[in-house]
Chain A
Amino acid sequence: MQHVVVAAIGAIVNLDHPAHIIEWHFIKLTVSNVIVIGLMFVAFFAAILLPFPGSGARREARRGGDKS
């Protein structure tokens, strides 16, 4: 069973090869690192732009006369 799971996951992304490299002038990065950096940018902008759960309600509560 374990071998089946490992084989199934391994079939999604074949990692049995030397890393793919992206070169641009002096910048040299592996594809995997580029993906991680891209995900960090996605997470960063999502963290800025997405409203935090309940933050609107708190703000409204403050403006609605809850001055305690």
Chain B
Amino acid sequence: MSVSPPRPKSWTVRVREAGVEALPPEKLLPDGQPTYVASWIYVFGVASIAALVVIIGSGTILALKGPAWWHYTGIGHFFNSIHMWAVELFFFAMVVHLWGKYWMAAWRGGRTRVWITGAVTFLVAVPTALTGYVSQQNFDAQWISTQAKDAMNSVGVGAFFNLTNFGQMYSYHVLIMPLAVVGLVGAHVLLVRRHGVVPPLPFHAARAGADVPAAVREGPSTPTGPSNGVA
């Protein structure tokens, strides 16, 4: 009786196994969070994502309808304003979340990539907004692009980023930059799921008392589960 050799794993199996190992279902979609997650700072993080959803939705409609629609119709003005104010809220909420996480030293316990993806999202969002300003197709866009091109030329990248080229800036704004921002935000959320929300700093943990076990305060990562003060 011969025993057939084990079949080599396909790439789909390897990807699945690596994915489940990195993010088992109970971590990916947990049914509870530690009590210290009940903080307004995380509300601002979620508000950033909510604003991003509105930005993508309103931006998609604007891209489908085109400049004449967003400049000369009432409903176009409405969606143009929704898009702009959602961006304002996105940056507002993201900056407050970023400040809060900085002062909470959110990179502790092996969470360097969580912090980096969040901070880089902010840095990538800035040129995403700039390319939007120069894609408006109005005098405001002309003024900003002719001013900003000098900044690009002064640092030697003017040959690659021509801010007076509407087609190039529009491509960056509606495709390349949004993909980068959404990808970074997605990675940030998945990394938070994997490593757990950073526990309070020691002096805050002392105030929180029994909410934060000592092993969690000093450990490399935060497990989520009933033993961790799940709310």
- Enumerate chain A interface residues (CB-CB to B < 8 A): 36, 39-40, 43-44, 46-48, 50, 52, 54-55, 58-59, 62-63, 68
B30 to chain A, nearest CB (A): 16
Give A39 to B96 CA distance when docked, in angstroms.
10
Interface of A, secondary structure class, is helix
> Is the beta-carbon distance between B38 and A40 smaller than 8 angstroms?
no
> Is the beta-carbon distance between B92 and A40 smaller than 8 angstroms?
yes
> Is the beta-carbon distance between A59 and B100 smaller than 8 angstroms?
no
Give A40 to B100 CA distance when docked, in angstroms.
11
Chain B residues near A48 (CB, 8 Å)?
Answer: 40-41, 100
- Enumerate chain B interface residues (CB-CB to A < 8 A): 35, 38-41, 43-44, 88, 92, 95-96, 99-100, 208-211, 226, 229, 231
Given contacts A58-B231, A68-B226, contact A63 B209 (CB under 8 A): yes
Closest to B103 in A: A48
> Is the beta-carbon distance between A47 and B100 smaller than 8 angstroms?
yes
> Is the beta-carbon distance between A52 and B96 smaller than 8 angstroms?
no
Closest to B93 in A: A43
Chain B residues near A43 (CB, 8 Å)?
Answer: 44, 92, 96
> Is the beta-carbon distance between A40 and B40 smaller than 8 angstroms?
no
Give A48 to B40 CA distance when docked, in angstroms.
7
Give A48 to B99 CA distance when docked, in angstroms.
11
> Is the beta-carbon distance between A47 and B44 smaller than 8 angstroms?
yes
Give A54 to B38 CA distance when docked, in angstroms.
8
> Is the beta-carbon distance between B35 and A55 smaller than 8 angstroms?
yes
Chain B residues near A54 (CB, 8 Å)?
Answer: 38
Known: A58-B35, A58-B38. 15 other contacts (CB 8 A): A40-B95, A40-B96, A47-B39, A47-B43, A47-B100, A48-B100, A52-B39, A55-B35, A55-B38, A58-B231, A59-B35, A62-B210, A62-B211, A62-B229, A63-B209
Give A48 to B102 CA distance when docked, in angstroms.
13
Give A13 to B35 CA distance when docked, in angstroms.
43
Chain B residues near A58 (CB, 8 Å)?
Answer: 35, 38, 231
A57 to chain B, nearest CB (A): 10
Give A39 to B38 CA distance when docked, in angstroms.
22
Chain A residues near B88 (CB, 8 Å)?
Answer: 36
